[in-house]
Amino acid sequence: MNSQLQQTAAYIRAEFERDTTGHDWWHIYRVWQLARKIALQEKADLEIVELAALLHDLDDWKLSPASGGEPLRAAAWLRQIGVAPAESDQILDIIRRVSFKGAGVADDMPSLEGQIVQDADRLDAIGAIGISRAFAYGGSKGRSLYDPAEAPILHSGFAEYQSSRGNTINHFYEKLLLLKARLHTQSARQIAGRRHVFMEEFLAHFFEEWDARDAQ
Q: At residue 132, what are phi and psi to the nearest 5 degrees?
A: -60, -45
The CATH number linked to 27 is 1.10.3210.50
Choose among 46, 96, 196: nearest CA to 107: 96
In angstroms, the first-to-last Cα distance of the chain is 56
Percent pLDDT > 70 in the chain is 99
Convert the pLDDT of each residue in 91-143 to its tens digit.
999 999 999 999 999 999 999 999 999 999 999 999 999 999 999 999 999 99
Helix axes 25-42, 3-16, angle to 10 degrees: 150
For the CA atoms of 127, 129, 130, 131, the dihedral, rounded to the nearest 10 degrees, stands at: 90
Instruction: Write out pLDDT tens, residues 153-211.
Output: 999 999 999 888 899 999 999 999 999 999 999 999 999 999 999 999 999 999 999 99
In sign, the C-alpha dihedral spanning 156, 162, 163, 168 is positive
* Structural domain count of the chain: 1
pLDDT score, position 216: 63
Q: Given a cut of 80, is residue 69 above it in pLDDT?
A: no
What's the domain range around 201? 3-215
Residue 163 has what pLDDT?
A: 87
